[in-house]
């Protein structure tokens, strides 16, 4: 591989004979996925890779910052991943990758992706794009030495694409958060610090838009869980009992933990190191000791009208996920 190697690790375009184990965090954005991804990245056997869906455009085409703070193309880890997979990122046809991704990884393609038999053109694009994904996941696994690669893209179409990729061993963690908390967070204007050479912001949504998207995303991942081994995790449960949830996820992925493997986290705080994440919430740049507490600011600052709108739209799944208890049933708590 052009003389670039690590002792004891596989070189070049060689890969382990078994498909890489990929843990996909699926749900609606603003549900705490970046925090859970980062926490898993501290667990031995797991590699936090951020939102892999955006590796191609935000990472490689736009050269936005990796979670380590360096533009992705200058990051030693991602440089090594590219070398391990293809001998370098310059050896792939990035325009082709982006074209294939736009064809299959989009909301409009979801009906086709759920069909038992794909149309020939969709099948061909998915096979080609899936080969890129399988190779990059294999390279992340081999470069990190981890048993499990975590992809926290949360996107429904990306999840459906991954479920169709033959070269990975996919398992799902369906992450849910109270729809009112998601809607409240979705109305905030948050700058994206990974942008280089300009200013951009995370997308914002009205209460009705946010709750409709929340319902659609979670229904999609319930459907995906019928064909992929899945584990449902509530954001609120993770923040209140991080060790219990991380242990359950390790069991779900077949990773055996030693007694001290979760010593970095308690019910009050978490110690975060650097993770080489391709994209994600701005908190992916934070390191050191972070307090752990459930973000329920919506209870105090969200208007009663907005709470009622979100509760009405999201009612069926809010009830199924046990978020409607007492005064919460009216969205007035």
The Cα 174–Cα 171 span in angstroms is 10
Residue 72's closest CA among 92, 49, 95, 93?
Answer: 49
Question: 34 near 154, Cβ under 8 Å?
Answer: no
Question: 205 near 261, Cβ under 8 Å?
Answer: no
pLDDT of residue 156: 96
pLDDT of residue 89: 98
The Cα 199–Cα 201 span in angstroms is 7
The Cα 111–Cα 160 span in angstroms is 10
Q: Which residues of the chain have a pLDDT value below 70?
A: 1-17, 189-202, 326-333
Tokens describing residue 24: 């996909």
The Cα 130–Cα 164 span in angstroms is 8
**By three-state DSSP, how is residue 272 classified?**
strand
Residue 259, burial from CB neighbour count under 10 angstroms (0-12, 13-18, 19+): exposed
pLDDT of residue 11: 37
pLDDT of residue 133: 98
The Cα 276–Cα 285 span in angstroms is 10
N- to C-terminal Cα separation, the chain: 59
Residue-wise over 276-301: b if at least 16 C-beta within 10 A, else e? bbbbbbeebbeeeebebeebeebeee
pLDDT of residue 44: 97
CATH of domain 21-295: 3.40.50.300
pLDDT of residue 188: 77
201: Cα separation from own chain's centroid = 19
pLDDT of residue 190: 56
Q: Which residues contact 120 (CB under 8 A, 6 or more apart)?
A: none
Sign of CA dihedral 64, 69, 75, 77: negative
Q: Is the pTM of this model over 0.85?
A: yes
């Amino acid at each position: 591989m052009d003389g670039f190697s690590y002792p004891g690790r596989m070189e070049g375009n060689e890969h382990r004979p078994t498909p890489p184990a990929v843990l996909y965090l699926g749900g609606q954005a603003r549900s705490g996925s970046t925090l859970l991804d980062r926490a898993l990245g501290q667990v031995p056997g797991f590699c936090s890779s951020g939102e892999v869906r955006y590796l191609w455009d935000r990472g490689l085409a736009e050269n936005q910052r990796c979670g380590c703070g360096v533009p992705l193309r200058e990051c030693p880890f991602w440089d090594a991943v590219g070398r391990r997979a293809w001998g370098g990122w310059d050896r792939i046809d990035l325009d082709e990758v982006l074209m294939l991704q736009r064809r299959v990884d989009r909301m409009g393609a979801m009906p086709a992706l759920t069909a038992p038999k794909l149309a020939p053109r969709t099948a061909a694009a998915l096979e080609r794009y899936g080969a890129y994904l399988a190779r990059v996941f294999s390279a992340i696994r081999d470069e990190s030495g981890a048993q499990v690669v975590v992809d926290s893209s949360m996107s429904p179409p990306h999840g459906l694409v991954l479920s169709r990729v033959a070269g990975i061993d996919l398992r799902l963690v369906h992450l849910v958060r109270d729809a009112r908390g998601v809607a409240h967070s979705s109305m905030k204007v948050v700058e994206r610090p990974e942008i280089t050479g300009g200013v951009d912001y995370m997308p914002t949504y009205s209460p009705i838009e946010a709750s409709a998207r929340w319902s659609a995303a979670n229904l999609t991942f319930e459907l995906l869980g019928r064909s992929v081994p899945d584990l449902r995790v509530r954001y609120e449960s993770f923040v209140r009992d991080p060790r219990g949830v991380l242990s359950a996820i390790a069991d779900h992925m077949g990773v055996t933990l030693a007694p001290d493997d979760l010593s970095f986290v308690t019910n009050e705080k978490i110690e975060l190191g650097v993770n080489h994440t391709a994209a994600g919430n701005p908190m992916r740049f934070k390191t050191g000791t972070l307090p752990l507490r459930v973000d329920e600011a919506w209870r105090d600052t969200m208007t009663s009208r907005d709470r009622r709108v979100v509760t009405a739209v999201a009612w069926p799944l809010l009830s199924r996920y046990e978020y409607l208890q007492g005064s919460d049933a009216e969205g007035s708590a």
